Amino acid sequence: MRWDIFCRVIDNHGDAGVCWRLAAQLARRGEAVRLFIDDASPIAWMAPQGEPGVQVLPWNAAEAAELPGGAGDVVVEAFGCELPVRVQAAIARAAHERGHAPAWLNLEYLSAEPWVARTHGLPSPVTHGPAQGLRKHFFYPGFTPGTGGLLREPGAGREGPAPDAAQWLADHGIPHADGERRVSLFCYEPTALGALLQGLAGGPTTRLLVTAGRATAATRAATDRLDVQAPGWNAAGRLRLSFLPLVPQDDFDRLLGVCDFNFVRGEDSLVRALWAGVPFCWQLYPQDDGAHEAKLAAFLDWLQPTADWRALFEAWNGLPAALPALAPQAWQPAMQAARARLLAQDDLVTQLLRFVQALRA
């Protein structure tokens, strides 16, 4: 089948990252994929080698007088992006010419909230525009049976030989020393960042691997403030900072695997942290209406962390909780149990292919 995936970039790591992984995994299963995206620049460093079977096209190609080649067999709106009118017209035209409409899916945001399982797979009639009278279906990723599952390539999350952390770090020019605790930092601008840095500086020797972009900017700003407000806060030198360049997805995934603890943000890196099997802390995209708080609470209810691990999630996301010291060894059993629950379920692409086949039957 030919798949058309449409993506508008809001958080360039998350939106583009999820859509690229989806496209690549479909292509590896023999599907032909076109990814229409309004900002393809993240793909250049996320997947510099590309992927056979995936064609990346600018969003304005979907707004042309004629969608090249017409609508695909499957059309995916990622994260509720609204399809251009000409694409909707192409879907309607394909329905008329082929005698059946393309499978039209709205791939939604990831959430552990209970309503996700109730909504997953439901049809949504199209009530206006050139595709009026057709319908699309909601497809919700999720953490529990009854949802669409998570993106997972073969082998991800399975126990195997531990990665050679020292070799991987050396290959990427990252300083390291025996006995250092390794922590990755991929975040927005958490208010608790300064407290975290101070806490790490007062604990065991830690190499903090700071990802490029907003995490680097936030960390530099936080250390500048600490230098003024708490001179000597890292006088013992126990906190060692390494600022990383942008790295391809494969290297980011390996980074999570060689660390003792990971701070992640958004959707794509949350899923990768789960497969890495290393305790982590997730920063949700902050929303003015506080919707991220309910989303976090639902995720924590699913994760079943220890009380102090839960407090870390809450404090990191701006809720009133004390920031605890990192204790990854104590948190590992809950981490392993959560990953085992996920591995017992089919991955998202397997479920997506099954869902589309049922729609086309």
Residue of 4, 51, 180, 267 with catalytic role: 267
CA-wise closest residue to 18 among 119, 136, 141, 138 = 141
Residue of 4, 11, 15, 347 with catalytic role: 15
| Contacts of 192 by beta carbon, 8 Å cutoff, 6+ apart | 315, 316, 318, 323
Strand partners, 76: 5, 105
Side chain identity, residue 22 = L
d(CA 342, CA 328): 20
Contact predicate 13/36, CB 8 Å:
no
31 an active-site residue?
no
Dihedral of CA 143/319/234/212: which sign?
Answer: positive
d(CA 313, CA 242): 23
Contact predicate 76/5, CB 8 Å:
yes
d(CA 88, CA 127): 12
15 an active-site residue?
yes
Contact predicate 37/9, CB 8 Å:
yes
Residue carrying structure tokens 């017209």 = 89
Residues recognised as catalytic: 15, 267
